[in-house]
Structure 1
């Protein structure tokens, strides 16, 4: 995996971290009554994406690594649903939704590429 020495070197982690910051910004304007509901759920799910990438980075076996990436993928889809819900509740506008959803799709593709890279690396060992 080249010059990758830390999870912070992974583009997928970097993009995921940017996504977390964006979701925090977006959700900061949600209604107060959503603080312990949608806002909390959305933030918990989005933080799980880079957190699982980071945790999986140190795992030694392929199944262990892939398990953490799978959790990231699941959390990303959960975020996608919450974004749809926020849009449908008129908490975010269409442009905000589309921009966030595009970033999510980019991260999803990067996760797929990361999985292929991990599998290839472990096959060569």
Structure 2
């Protein structure tokens, strides 16, 4: 039987809050790209970064911890996709090395929280 969730809502989760801040920073960065990238890299970065928090939220709304775990793993994939798009932006010279590193550092922080949440969910799927 599933246990009661210790949080009242997905937006109480620290990992979701971190993903939200990251998404906002990605948006602010991506809108500075050339207009030719509006429906290419800019759109892909925004979608991938939005998917991180969306998957955390969707998983939270699922009935079983196994389902929640699945969506958090999807969120982790979206986080790495976002980092790949940042590397693309660097390769296209839309951002400099320092900006890339700053966003990678932020991604690492989100990843740590997400990995911790995933590990916690895994313990719940075994009980």
TM-score category, normalised to shorter length: over 0.9
Deviations 1:70-106 (A, max 9, x none): 1101111110110001011110111211111111111
Q: Shift in Å at residue 44 of structure 1?
A: 0.4
Q: Shift in Å at residue 120 of structure 1?
A: 2.2
Are 1:100 and 2:103 matched, yes or no? yes
Query: Contact 2:59–2:68 (CA<8 Å) still a contact in 1?
Result: yes
Question: 3-state SS of the aligned residue for 2:7?
Answer: coil
Runs of 4+ in 1 over 4 A off after TM superposition: none
Are 1:24 and 2:27 matched, yes or no? yes
Question: 3-state SS of the aligned residue for 2:25?
Answer: helix
Q: Shift in Å at residue 3 of structure 1?
A: 4.6
Unmatched runs of 5 consecutive residues or more in structure 1: none
Are 1:48 and 2:19 matched, yes or no? no
Q: What is the aligned residue count?
A: 124
Partner in structure 2 of residue 10 of structure 1: 13
Moved more, 60-69 or 25-34: 60-69
Partner in structure 2 of residue 69 of structure 1: 72
Unmatched runs of 5 consecutive residues or more in structure 2: none
Question: 3-state SS of the aligned residue for 1:111?
Answer: helix
Partner in structure 2 of residue 109 of structure 1: 112
Query: Contact 2:66–2:125 (CA<8 Å) still a contact in 1?
Result: no
Q: Using the alignment, how far apart are the partners of 1:27 and 1:107 within structure 2? A: 19
Query: Contact 2:15–2:113 (CA<8 Å) still a contact in 1?
Result: yes
Q: Shift in Å at residue 55 of structure 1?
A: 0.7
Q: Using the alignment, how far apart are the partners of 1:57 and 1:81 within structure 2? A: 26
